[in-house]
């Protein structure tokens, strides 16, 4: 096991660690921003389902000889738009979403069955492999992040209105269906990015954990957004450092930190309510 002093002096001398920290930072910011609205709108299960749909897209892309990231992005984007078209009915369709989620995983495993040589790549898709990210992927993640962030900034005001007071927003002329479609398309892009860090099975940890903890700790919108981003960054970067020291998987540390921070946030909010 490496000492913390050795880690600090040598960690950033490796190109793969520089790429990992850059990718983790980019993805964490997007997850903090998008995840905040996802939790606010009570659509976390839909976001979780999108990651599983993306697994089928990624494995299908591998089967066709295409980069997994593009297959994952394309199918999650299509699924996000489809979910958005359901509008408010999405909240009453947990069973249908769950079935689609299971079928997507099954379809992904079927694709892998035809190419068993990609077993290692399948593990990376399921659980993430941030240390294997190259500089080209970092720039791709940056492009996707800028696209998702810019789109979120454009719809942020009506999205917040529609999330907090949907009936009043509709009466004021806010197109709820269009906002839902655009938002879930943005979620799809964020999920595709997040899957590169923690894998499709653990997207929930980085996408939802920091945002849920932030909303437990503050009721102010801008404070909550900022705290969600800071917590996501802290979890991603601290997880990389801990993984370097212990040789344990980065995805494990991200989920562990996410869970611990959320539990601490819940305990803190309960204590404040009791005072």
Render pLDDT for 66-82 as a digit per residue (tens, 0 to 9). Answer: 777 788 888 888 888 87
For helices 250-274 and 221-246, the axis angle rounded to 10 degrees is 140
* In a domain? residue 38: yes
Render pLDDT for 148-178 as a digit per residue (tens, 0 to 9). Answer: 999 999 999 999 998 888 888 888 888 888 8
pTM of the model: 0.83
Token couple for 14: 């490796």
Residue 135 to residues 17, 68, 203, 269, Cα–Cα distance (Å): 11, 16, 22, 41
**What's the 3-state SS for 9-47?**
HHHHHCHHHHHHHHHHHHHHHHHHHHHHHHHHCCCHHHH
* In a domain? residue 269: no
CATH of the domain at 193: 1.10.3470.10
d(CA 161, CA 73) in angstroms, rounded, equals: 28
Domain span including residue 12: 4-201
Residue 92 binned pLDDT confidence (cut-offs 50, 70, 90) = low
* In a domain? residue 183: yes
pLDDT score of 89: 54
**Which residue would you say has higher pLDDT here, 208 or 115?**
208
* In a domain? residue 98: yes
* In a domain? residue 217: no
d(CA 141, CA 25) in angstroms, rounded, equals: 10
For the chain, the average pLDDT equals 81
Please report where in the chains the tokens 């490796």 appear, as a residue. 14
Residue 37: pLDDT over 90 = yes
pLDDT score of 226: 95
Token couple for 17: 């660690």
Residue 83: pLDDT over 80 = no
pLDDT score of 62: 75
* In a domain? residue 244: no
| CB atoms closer than 10 angstroms to residue 146 | 12
Residue 1 binned pLDDT confidence (cut-offs 50, 70, 90) = very low
* In a domain? residue 122: yes
* In a domain? residue 169: yes
Please report where in the chains the tokens 């454009």 appear, as a residue. 154
Q: Are 202 and 52 in contact (CB under 8 A)?
A: no
d(CA 126, CA 108) in angstroms, rounded, equals: 10
Total domains, the chain: 1
């Amino acid at each position: 096991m490496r000492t913390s002093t050795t880690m600090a002096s040598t960690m950033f001398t490796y190109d793969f660690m520089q790429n990992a920290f850059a990718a983790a930072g980019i993805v964490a910011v997007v997850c903090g921003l998008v995840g905040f609205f996802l939790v606010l709108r009570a659509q976390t299960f839909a976001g979780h389902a999108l990651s599983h749909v993306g697994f089928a897209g990624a494995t299908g892309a591998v089967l066709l000889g295409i980069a997994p990231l593009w297959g994952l992005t394309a199918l999650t984007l299509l699924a996000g738009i489809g979910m958005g078209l359901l509008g408010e009915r999405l909240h009453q369709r947990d069973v249908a979403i769950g079935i689609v989620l299971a079928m997507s995983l099954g379809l992904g495993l079927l694709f892998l069955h035809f190419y068993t040589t990609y077993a290692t790549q399948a593990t990376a898709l399921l659980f993430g492999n941030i240390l294997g990210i190259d500089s080209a992927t970092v720039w791709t993640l940056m492009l996707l992040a800028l696209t998702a962030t810019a789109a979120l900034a454009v719809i942020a005001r009506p999205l917040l209105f529609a999330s907090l007071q949907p009936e009043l927003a509709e009466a004021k002329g806010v197109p709820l269906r269009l906002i839902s479609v655009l938002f879930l398309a943005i979620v799809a892009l964020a999920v595709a990015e997040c899957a590169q860090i923690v894998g499709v099975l653990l997207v929930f940890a980085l996408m939802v954990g920091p945002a849920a903890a932030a909303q437990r700790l503050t009721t102010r919108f801008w404070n909550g957004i900022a705290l969600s981003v800071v917590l996501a960054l802290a979890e991603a970067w601290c997880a990389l450092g801990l993984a370097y020291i212990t040789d344990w998987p980065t995805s494990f540390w991200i989920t562990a930190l996410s869970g611990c921070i959320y539990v601490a946030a819940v305990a803190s909010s309960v204590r404040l309510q009791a005072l």
